[in-house]
Structure 1
Amino acid sequence: MRITYQYRLRLTQKQIDIFEHWLELCRRQYNYRLAERFNWWEQNRCDVNRCSIVCCSIAPLKDQPNRWSQQKDLANTKAIFPEYEELVSHTLQDVIARVNKTLTRWLKGDCNGKKSGRPRFKAKGRYRSLTFPDPIRPERIQGNFIKLPKIGLVKMIFHRPIPDGFKIKNAIVTRKTDGWYISLSLEDSTVPLLTPDVTPTHDNTVGIDMGLKSFLVTSDNQEVQIPQYYRKAEEKLKQLQRQLSRKKKGSKRRQKAIKRVAKLHLKVSNQRKDFHYKTALWLTSKYKFIAHEQLNILGLAKTRLAKSILDAGWGNFLNILNLKAANAGGAGLPQNPYKSSIECSDCGVEVPKTLSQRWHNCSCGASYCRDHNAARNIKHRAVGHPVLKCS
């Protein structure tokens, strides 16, 4: 089992300066290695795929740079630029691993075949994290301090202890708008992954319907109001962005204004994440299986409702919900939402309605809120309709 704990750091000014310098060195190395890959691609691609029998003047292809050749070349980098000797070797190697990962996702895609966009060079301040891939021994944590290589003891707010039996596999130091954080990746191979020991039934399963009027409605007709954190912060954000637009580029006042805008965005993000975790905990504490809609959020985000949909954060919530349900020994059950609002959850007959019609009335006598009816249909698709299944 693998989990991640994040702690806030309390750094001295000297430690902040060291971390800032290391981030800048990593940023330069990232851009250089990425440019090296792009240059090889531009210099060696050619539309001519055949050579003349008489003569051939095509130059031989250069060796394609890869992760291992670039890591081997780090010795030359340290010889030319001695300041790279200050960095931890594995931290520098992780920079090249990131370049390799982002290029692979662009050219080949991830494990699901989904491709990312063309990698971009990191502007100043855009490289924000340092990875220490080596396992950290337990004796390196001394009270509220953790000992990191080449920097020594670093103070952190140790708000929760590390569980017994878990080992620290790596640490990532991240710079955020409101300070510095360290994420510890913990692993215990003796803890098995929980698998559901029962099958979904009508008693241990709940269906949820995501919406914008309410964040979600369960099949038991319980409603969670949508908080709309971004909508509530829009007026304040508008004022801060207006102040930012008036500042001279490159000035210290502009940097302070940028930081104020970033802090407000971070606050909205933290509020939304806290709401998602609390809602997921509430659902997983009451039900073992949670059936939810399999939404095309990227497609929905291109409609007129894009701002409200992204403010609700459906995608992040469903990821958190599935993870928490699995950790609790249950599972999230994604279902096709097609006609879930039109079909009657009692008899299965389709009752056409427009988006403005918020109430479901069927000839069989069923009368439900539109979202409640959809949540019941989502549950029935996960475990089977109790009436139609018998007939």
Structure 2
Amino acid sequence: MAGDALERAVLEREPDDRLRILDAEGRVVAPDLEPDLEAGTLRSMYRDMRFSRRFDERMISLQRQGRLGTYASLAGQEGSQIGSTYALADDDMLSFQYREHGAVVSRDLPWEYLLYWMGHEDGNAALAEIDVFPLNISIGGHLPHAVGWSWAAKLNGDERVGVVHFGDGATSEGDFHEAMNFAGVFDTPTVFFCNNNQWAISIARENQTASATIAQKADAYGFTGVQVDGMDPLACYVVTRAAREKALASDGDRLRPTLIEAVQYRYGAHTTADDPSAYRDEAEVERWRERDPIDRFETYLRNRGVLDDERIETIETEIEATLEDLVDRAESAESDPRDLFEHTYDEPTPRLEAQREALEALRERHGDDELLDYE
């Protein structure tokens, strides 16, 4: 299936008709939608999913050791992040909340990315080199920016798409509605990718909205909404690819934007500052683990002869070496406390100047080593 027929099969479905290609056991249940991807691409997707899970474990370990700041875990969401990003062109603009580390991994995660989580803003600057907007902490605040970029691309005749990742909690924010409305009115080439992981910190999905699905919210703004199994990387790839092609279509009779609701689950805490045992049942977590995106994708690849034990061992060895290098480089980076005062205001305020002078006095008295001792 190709072209318009694929787009109709993928996007022209009821919001509660969840698109799935692989079942929980890794079996193909929608062969007509299965993407024709090369073996190398499939192995690369698997590698990035495994890397993302291991990256997550390593970052949490570093945080527990006091070597990293508060961190947001992605475990369980690798399928949506890697599957959707592989469907994009390398120069499509990617905007994300703070949990989509896998999307950045798919763009050859720069080592500087770790600096952000260690408290250095330079870690955000490196993302510009791979067409990724700076990491966003405010809930939903990046959605209008992503739509604005998409609108500019359209006005400039730029054949690029803006893809914006956000969580289900962001759909309760005004920025979500403003961005969706603007995208519909001005027909922007925007793909809204909602990572519905069932919990906005401690608020369950059913307490976020009275809508039966998040995907159906697109109807209010006049464009397409589709729900996909977020723990199925192939389904996420296919739906994002179809949404991208639609975003670039020149047919004025159909709106370019698409809202994708990727239904999935976060295994861990909202962040390392959260205790999920206070608001959810561990049995619920285990039920979702039975749909693990990495396990089902690995089964699919083994059945196709794309993956075997030897290749997996090679991938694991490479992942550990890459992670070790990333951490070593990030922890070797030097800091200057005076950077705290840069880029806060265009012109420093009297209070900021007083704080800068106070820091300089401390540096003269104690030296940089004592000021930067976080151990």
TM-score (normalizing by structure 1): 0.23
Rg larger for: 1
More helix by share: 2
More strand by share: 1
